Amino acid sequence: MLNRAKALVTVLAATLALAACGGDAEPADPPDAVRTAVNGDEFNNADVAFATDMIPHHAQALEMVDLTIGRELDPEVAGLAEEIRAAQGPEIEQLVDWLTGWDEQIPETARDHENADGDGEMDMGDMPGMMSADEMTDLEEATGAAFEERWLEMMAEHHAGAIEMARAEQTDGAFAPAVSLAESIADSQEREVAAIEDLLGD
C-alpha cells in the first residue's frame, strides 16, 4: 500500500508540473501574427475578422436597400440607396475572394437562403450596427414618409457600425488591400451619414 501511495503522489506531482508549464506557454498564433496564404497574401486575424464580419454587415445593408424597391421615395433617398447598392455589392465579392484565398470560411448571411436557419434569422452576436429581425420587419411594414424616416435612421446606425469595424481594421490589419478597403468604407460611409443627417434635418 505504501508503494502504491508513493507512486500516486509521483504521478500527481508530474501532472501538476506539466499543467504549470502549460500555463506559461505562449499561444501558438497570437492575434496579430502575420500568416502567409498559399496565394502569397500576408494577413492576420484582424484581416480575417474584418472580412468575415463585413460580409454579413454589408448584406444586411443591401437587404435594407432592397426594401426601397417599388416604393415612391424622395429622389435623394432613392439615389442614396442606389449608391449603397453600387458600392457594397462589389465589396462583398472582394471580401469573399480574400477569405477564399486565405482558406477561411465564408460567413452565412441573411441573404444566403441555402445557409440561413429555418426562421431566416442570423445570429450576429455583438456586431456593431446590425439590425434585429424585428427591426427589419418593422421597416418592411412601414409606409410612406414613416418608411423613409426609419430607413434613414437605421441606415445611419448601420453605417456607424461599419465605420467602427473599418477603423479597427485600419489600426490592426496587416493585409494592405484590406486596410485600404477599410479606409474607403469608413470615408464613404461617413459622407453618407452626413447626407442622411441633412435629409433627416429637412
Encode pLDDT of 36-63 as tens digits: 998 899 999 999 999 999 999 999 999 9
Residue with cell 485600404: 180
Report how far residue 56's alpha carbon sits from residue 135's, in angstroms, rounded to the nearest whole number.
16
Residue-wise over 107-127: b if at least 16 C-beta within 10 A, else e?
bbbbbeeeeeeeeeebebeeb
Whole-number Cα distances in Å, 103 to 14, 33, 43, 98, 185: 39, 16, 12, 9, 24
State how many domains the chain has: 1
Radius of gyration for the chain, computed over Cα atoms and rounded to the nearest angstrom: 24
In whole numbers, what is the pLDDT of the chain averaged over residues?
Answer: 84
In a domain, 17, yes or no: no
Identify whether 5 is part of a domain: no
Domain that holds residue 73: 34-201
Is the pTM here over 0.85, yes or no? no
Residue type at 149 in one-letter notation: E
Residue 126's pLDDT is 74
Q: Is residue 28 part of a domain?
A: no
- How confident is the model over 127-156, as pLDDT tens digits? 899 999 999 999 999 999 999 999 999 999
What local confidence, expressed as pLDDT, does residue 171 receive? 97
Task: Give the pLDDT confidence score for residue 6 in this predicted structure.
Answer: 42
Q: Examine residue 100 and state whether it is found in any structural domain, yes or no.
A: yes
Collapsing DSSP to helix, strand or coil, 44 comes out as coil
Average of per-residue pLDDT across 9-33: 49
Residue 15 falls inside a structural domain = no
Report the run of H or E that residue 169 belongs to, with start and end: helix 144-172
Whole-angstrom distance, CA of residue 151 vs CA of residue 156 = 9
Handedness of CA 57, 62, 65, 66 (dihedral sign): negative
Confirm whether 106 is domain-assigned: yes
Overall average pLDDT of the 164-191 stretch: 98
CA distances for 135 relative to 17, 61, 87, 112, 190, angstroms: 54, 13, 24, 19, 23
Does residue 11 sit within a domain? no
Q: What is the CATH number of the domain that holds 181?
A: 1.20.1260.10
What is the pLDDT confidence band of residue 109, given thresholds at 50, 70 and 90?
A: confident
